[in-house]
Amino acid sequence: DKNAQGIDFLFEKNEVEGVKGLARLVGENEVEVGTDGKTKAFRAPHIIVATGSVPREVPTAPADGKRILNSDHILKIAHVPDSLVVLGAGAVGIEFASIFASFGSSVTIVEMLPNALPLEDLEVSQELERAFRKRKIKLLTGTKLAAVEEEEGVLRLRIESEDLSEWMEANTLLVAVGRAPVTEKLGLEEQGVELDEGYVCVNEFMQTSVPTIYAIGDVVQTPWLAHVASAEGILAVEHLIGRDVRPINYDQVPGVTFCQPEVGSVGLTEKVARERGYDVATGRFPFSALAKAAIEGSAAGFVKVVRDKKYDELLGVHVIGPHATEMIAEACVALRLESTTEELFRAMHAHPTMAEAVAEAAHAAVDRAIHM
């Protein structure tokens, strides 16, 4: 609520008029808004569509807000369920699984793909899975939810994999399988705006097939992240007012997952780097070798650096462990500045800090870590 009120303050400070209502495009330069039973039209040289997304539904488990929840419902839950099954091991599913395990729920995660956090580097995913097993969080990968029944206030879930088909029981099911764009009934197609499976098609400057209309955030097929939408909004505005701008490099989007242990990453994973034809070398450094980790009692996890041998180009940095979501910022700057791996490890890192692991992992990717 405080953050939302902050937006209202920024609107007022910057002389932005906020109108709340149901809106639709009625022209390439006109939006019609219905509010309090009245309709009002707004005209402008340009329009930006930023209507966001909603949790994606699963036909076998439609959310009812009671026992079958989506990621909006669970924020308002009034109790801690004794047992919780989380469908989906992406960032949202992993975060809520971690939270409710900390609250005392017995948590099981069901994921169709082979690993948790499938977009992360494989070694990071495997480390997270080990950490979750230590926390007694059950993780069923390569498994799908085939059916859901409710009997006497308890959910019965049939799960299936290559070598498994069984029923399990839970108090609550969280469906966390991604998000769907909010583009229906906006009048987009009537104005000639091209869509692809509900997503708005845009060029590298966030401009749609109608030059006066732009789209940003979850309505376009880019990562569902607030910081991505913010960067896209800035790009769209700078482009429409005629500034000389560069497209966003989506390889440099940081990913952060607020679980225990934390995960932060930016750039290419080892697998993707090899698929793109780079001559790859990697380096790892465990937090257990750091004095600061010993001081904090947080020694689990590591930093992994991915580099190209030919030009020593820094390709990616992947962190799992304490403060990972903050530590990744250094790597974001390094990638933005087209840093080499040597430049990363020659940059002096203060001692004792967790960030020393970044320099040590970079050194390990080039030759070997000094302090291990």
- DSSP at 201: P
Residue 370 is classified by DSSP as T
Is 351 one of the annotated active-site residues of the chain? yes
Backbone angles phi, psi at 84, to 5 degrees: -135, 125
Report the Cα–Cα distance between both ends of the chain, in Å, rounded: 47
Cα torsion through 181, 185, 190, 195, rounded to 10? 10
Cβ(366)–Cβ(360) below 8 Å? no
- The interaxial angle of helices 356-366 and 324-336, nearest 10 deg, is 50
**CB-based contacts of 168: which residues, under 8 Å, 6+ apart?**
85, 108, 156, 157, 159
Q: Which of 73, 227, 351, 363 is catalytic?
A: 351
The CA-CA-CA angle for residues 336, 340, 346, to 5°, reads: 110
Distance of alpha carbon 315 from alpha carbon 280, whole angstroms: 9
**Cβ-contact 188, 200 below 8 angstroms:** yes
Distance CA(279)–CA(309), nearest Å, equals 6
What are the respective helix, strand and coil percentages of the chain, to the nearest 5? Answer: 30, 30, 40
Nearby residues of 192 by Cβ (< 8 Å), 6 or more positions away: 28, 209, 210
DSSP string, 267-329: E--HHHHHHTT--EEEEEEEGGG-HHHHHHT----EEEEEEETTTTEEEEEEEESTTHHHHHH
Distance (Å, rounded) from C-alpha 362 to C-alpha 367? 9
Q: Give me the active site residues, please.
A: 351
